Structure 1
Amino acid sequence: MEQRRVALVTGARRGIGRAIASELAQAGFDVAITDIVPSAELDGTRADVERAGVRCVALTSNVADIAQHDTLLGAVEDSLGGVTCLVNNAGVSVMARSDLLDVTLESYDRCLDVNTRGTFFLMQAFARRAVKASHDGVNRSIVTITSSNAVAASPQRSEYCVSKAGLSMATTLFSLRLAEHGIGVFEVQPGLIETEMTAPSKARYDAQMENGLTAIRRWGAPEEVAAVVRMLATGGLPFSVGQAIRVDGGLLVSKY
């Protein structure tokens, strides 16, 4: 019996995570989606996935709670089969934009616990299972959604920048460790993507885009990030290791 491709997408309630779940469903993956609490939005993502004619399970999970990771992966395996593609999308932003000298311990720890520490150990839990599992020629991958702020410094969001830079390095490390097992590990760096999370900053960045902040003078769409994830999850870069792909409209291109 042919092994099914199964994707686990964390933080899939809305925005980029929801778009990724839908895109992978269109590619034929059965999809497990997670969020920290049940919600009508998470149910809506599940309905989107199931409309593609694949199976979907919606689970609650806190990425920061490392003790939950094996339970989560086991629950997906029981429902859909072993995970062949882990998409690390769940993440948090700063509790409040503030001067670097005013960053609170609470906000710093929250960013690092979810974005870096929790995601690192979820990758580890997936990798431990993946290196032992039979894959029958099915492409296996980890795709981690970081941010342009893994590279570009934003002093009013310093704890977020630190967490994403650390996650970028973690992705590189796992890519080297897992290459010999045929598991592709990649990073996607979204720039200014129009979602509910970025809505409060829209007016400010609209003006900056008009003044040349990005080469493509518009916001990106979650579906544009999802298209890159689909390419990586389906083996589109078979001879690349740890590649970081920008989806940012030219935000990070050096220019003058």
Structure 2
Amino acid sequence: MRQVALVTGSSRGIGLAAAEALARAGFAVAINGPVADAELHAAVARIEALGVPVMAAPFDVGDTAAHAPWLARIEDTLGPLTTLVNNAGVGVLHRGDLLEVGEESWDRCLTINARAVFFLSQAFARRLLARARPEGLFHAVVNVTSSNASAVAVQRAEYCVSKAAAAMVSKALAVRLGPENIAVYDVQPGLIATDMTAPVIEAYRRRAAEGLTLMPRVGEAHEMGTIIATLAAGKLPYTTGQVISADAGMLVPRF
């Protein structure tokens, strides 16, 4: 049987890179974006060219009522899900003084970056536990959070809070699902070149070269995709609950 993955927020960036890496590993993949737009269809075509079963799954992860129906639709099309990659995320509406953060930006970050991760994982886990799972297939939840789960970026405090919440979701899920042989991982990217970071990536490049990261460069989406696929394929056996700091050593304490 084939591994089947849903990757949220996979029409571009780290999500698309993860979908690509999973497809290269033989996974069937459901590509998710909030709407069925040209970007989503282009991503599906890109994965389809790799020769694996693929489908578009256009739904807003923040809409919890959509979770169970879409998981069912994916399984009807691609087969039983083995893997959930919670990658969809949003940034702040405006960078600035945390004393000026508004409720709209706070709610947006917490809804997509944390609440959606919790409830989509819950719906996914319920499906897995309700059926027999064939031996030989690895089952996992891989959450993509951020280095900001622990490191403060004071100009986007609400984003940091949401990622810290998502990191705790990962730990709680690992404790609950470990006895069921479902692994849970928390991938925490650092300075990665994506559409989301495009406005500040040159500043990040300078800071990386000046020593902010131990390896003096920013990361690339395809590198995150490789990490996610490695975890999803069970290539770190006998592990769960791990935080993977994909940050070139940025958060290593030093004098």
Compute the TM-score of the two structures, normalised by the length of structure 1: 0.97
Partners in 2 of 1:205 and 1:34 — Cα distance? 28
Instruction: Give the superposition deviation at 1:26.
Output: 0.3
1:200 equivalenced with 2:195 (yes/no): no
Q: Which residue of 2 aligns with 1:162?
A: 161
1:161-200 to 2 correspondence within 5 Å?
A: 161-200=160-199
Partners in 2 of 1:64 and 1:171 — Cα distance? 18
1:122 equivalenced with 2:120 (yes/no): yes
Partners in 1 of 2:55 and 2:202 — Cα distance? 37
- Deviations, residues 192-233 of structure 1 (Å, cap 9, x unaligned): 111111110022222212221111111101111111111111
Q: Which residue of 2 aligns with 1:10?
A: 8
Q: Which residue of 2 aligns with 1:139?
A: 138
- Deviations, residues 10-38 of structure 1 (Å, cap 9, x unaligned): 00111100000010000000000110012
Q: Contact 1:11 / 1:89 at 8 angstroms: preserved in 2? A: yes
1:29-48 to 2 correspondence within 5 Å?
A: 29-48=27-46
Aligned-partner residue type, residue 91 of structure 1 = G
Partners in 2 of 1:37 and 1:47 — Cα distance? 16
Aligned-partner residue type, residue 22 of structure 2 = L
Partners in 2 of 1:128 and 1:35 — Cα distance? 23
Instruction: Give the superposition deviation at 1:159.
Output: 0.3
Q: Which residue of 2 aligns with 1:49?
A: 47
Other structure's SS at 1:143 match:
strand
1:24 equivalenced with 2:51 (yes/no): no
CA RMSD between the two structures: 0.9
Partners in 2 of 1:203 and 1:23 — Cα distance? 26
Q: Contact 1:22 / 1:45 at 8 angstroms: preserved in 2? A: no
Partners in 2 of 1:108 and 1:42 — Cα distance? 27
Other structure's SS at 2:219 match:
coil
Instruction: Give the superposition deviation at 1:246.
Output: 1.0
Instruction: Give the superposition deviation at 1:162.
Output: 0.3
1:232 equivalenced with 2:223 (yes/no): no
Among all aligned residue pairs of Structure 1 and Structure 2, give the percentage whose two residues are the same amino acid. 48
Moved more, 70-79 or 132-141: 132-141
Moved over 6 A (4+): none
Moved more, 161-170 or 207-216: 207-216
Partners in 2 of 1:181 and 1:207 — Cα distance? 45
Partners in 1 of 2:91 and 2:54 — Cα distance? 27
Partners in 2 of 1:74 and 1:152 — Cα distance? 37
Instruction: Give the superposition deviation at 1:237.
Output: 2.1
Length, aligned pairs only: 254
Aligned-partner residue type, residue 142 of structure 1 = V
Q: Which residue of 2 aligns with 1:213?
A: 212
